[in-house]
Amino acid sequence: MIRLAVPLVSALLFANISACETSSRAADAAPSALFEQAWNSGIDPHEAAFQVQAIDANTYVLRQSLRTSFEAPFLYLLFGTDKALLIDTGVEGVDLRAVIDRLIDQHAAAEGHSFSLVVMHTHGHGDHVGGDAGFEGRPDTVIVGHSVEDVSAFFGITDWPDGTGTLDLGGRTIEILPTPGHHPSHVMIFDAASHILFSGDAIYPGRLFFECGEAGEYATSIDRVATFAETHQIDWLLGGHVEMKAKPGQAFGQQGKLRRGEHVLELSASAITDVQAAFAGIGDYPRVTPFAEFMLLPHPADPQGKSPPDWCKPS
Ligand SMILES: [Zn+2]
**H/E run at residue 271:** helix 270-281
Task: Name the helix (H) or strand (E) containing 194.
Answer: none
Neighbours of 260 (CB within 10 A): 21
Q: Is 44 part of a structural domain of the chain?
A: yes
Separation of alpha carbons 270 and 293, rounded Å: 11
258 falls within a domain: yes
Determine how many CB atoms are found less than 10 A away from the CB of residue 264.
Answer: 20
- The set of residues, in sequence order, having a beta carbon less than 8 Å from that of 98 and lying 6+ positions away, is none
243-276 tens-digit pLDDT = 999 999 999 987 778 888 999 999 999 999 999 9
Q: Which domain holds residue 90?
A: 8-14+26-299
DSSP 8-state assignment for residue 257: -
Separation of CA 239 and ligand 1 centre (Å): 9
Q: Cα(112) to centroid of ligand 1, in Å?
A: 35
How many angstroms does the Cα of residue 87 sit away from the middle of ligand 1?
Answer: 12
- Counting the structural domains of the chain, the total is 1
User: Does 79 score more than 80 pLDDT?
Assistant: yes
Question: Ligand 1 center to residue 1 CA distance, Å?
Answer: 3
In a domain, 256, yes or no: yes
In a domain, 120, yes or no: yes
CATH at 132: 3.60.15.10
Distance 113 CA to ligand 1 centre (A): 34
Answer whether 87's CB lies under 8 Å from 128's CB: no
Cα(156) to centroid(ligand 1), Å: 25
Quick one: which H or E segment has residue 233?
Answer: none
* 8 Å CB contact between 275 and 184: no
In a domain? residue 201:
yes
Tell me the C-alpha to C-alpha distance, in Å, between residue 237 and each of 34, 105, 199, 225: 11, 28, 6, 12
Q: Looking at the domain assignment, is residue 287 inside a domain? A: yes
CA of 275 to the centre of ligand 1 (A): 17
Helix %, strand %, coil % of the chain (to 5): 20, 25, 55
Strands (E), the chain: 50-56, 59-64, 74-79, 83-87, 116-120, 141-143, 165-168, 173-178, 187-191, 196-200, 207-211, 236-239, 266-267, 289-290, 295-299
Look over the chain and give the mean of its residue pLDDT values, rounded to a whole number.
88
pTM of the full structure: 0.89
> Residue 21: pLDDT above 50?
no
Q: Is residue 312 part of a domain?
A: no
Cα of 226 vs centre of ligand 1, distance in Å, is: 22
pLDDT at 25: 41
Q: What is the pLDDT of residue 104?
A: 98
Centre of ligand 1 to C-alpha 124, Å, is: 9
Residue 119, pLDDT > 90, answer yes
Q: From CA 281, how far away is CA 135, in angstroms rounded? A: 42
298 CA from centroid of ligand 1 (Å)? 15
Give residue 181 CA to ligand 1 midpoint distance, Å: 13
Domain membership flag for residue 309: no
Lowest mean pLDDT among 75-79, 297-301, 310-314: 310-314
Ligand 1 centroid to residue 241 C-alpha, Å: 7
* Mean pLDDT, range 127-151, rounded to an integer: 98
Question: If you average pLDDT over residues 75-104, what whole number do you get?
Answer: 98
Q: Which residue has the higher pLDDT, 43 or 95?
A: 95
Q: 162 CA to middle of ligand 1, Å?
A: 23
State the pLDDT at residue 83. 98
Residue 310 has pLDDT above 90, yes or no: no
Is the bond preceding 298 in cis, omega lying within 30 degrees of 0?
no
Percent of the chain with pLDDT over 70: 85
